[in-house]
Amino acid sequence: TVSRFDYDENEGNIDVSSRKEVVKIPPAAQGGGVPDGMTIDADGNLWVTLGEGGAVAKYDAETGEELERIKLPVKRPTACTFGGEDLQELYITTREETGESSSASAGHLLVAKLDKV
């Protein structure tokens, strides 16, 4: 689950009592994953790395609806941010993996080129 909280700019405090669920993500076994790193695009959409789910998903930050999913060649993405000349690339860090199911791309920085952000 990804939650939102009210923030008091004058005091610099987060109001923990204002918690509101923004996105409900199912477990990896049900096609979701563990929300880890995230970023927001120019349209206010939330991009969330899905640890154990091997993907980054784009959500409408108001409704929680999944709008897009980028499958990755790794199981454990950890964080994401926009970059490139026009911020049309999504940079995704990944965690190193061990064992039979590990990927050669694990522990590396991946780049997804996007059509429009």
Burial, 78: exposed, middle or buried (Cβ in 10 Å; 0-12, 13-18, 19+)?
middle
- Please tell me which residue in 6, 36, 43, 60 is annotated as part of the active site: 36
pLDDT > 70 fraction of the chain, expressed in percent and rounded: 95
Q: Return the CATH number of the domain spanning residue range 26-113.
A: 2.40.10
User: How large is the average pLDDT for residues 10-25?
Assistant: 95
104 SS3 class:
coil
With a cut of 90, say whether residue 96 has pLDDT above it. no
Q: Compute the 3-state secondary structure of the chain and give helix, strand, coil in percent, each to the nearest 5.
A: 5, 50, 45
- Give the end-to-end CA distance of the chain in Å, rounded to a whole number: 23
With a cut of 80, say whether residue 102 has pLDDT above it. no
CA atoms of 30 and 60, how far apart (whole Å): 20
CA atoms of 60 and 62, how far apart (whole Å): 5
Q: Check if 36 is active-site.
A: yes
pLDDT > 90 fraction of the chain, expressed in percent and rounded: 76
Residues annotated in a binding site: 36
Residues annotated in a binding site for a divalent metal cation: 36
With a cut of 90, say whether residue 104 has pLDDT above it. no
With a cut of 90, say whether residue 97 has pLDDT above it. no
Residue 91, pLDDT score: 98
What is the residue extent of each domain of the chain?
A: 26-113
Q: State the pLDDT confidence band at 99, using cuts at 50, 70 and 90.
A: low
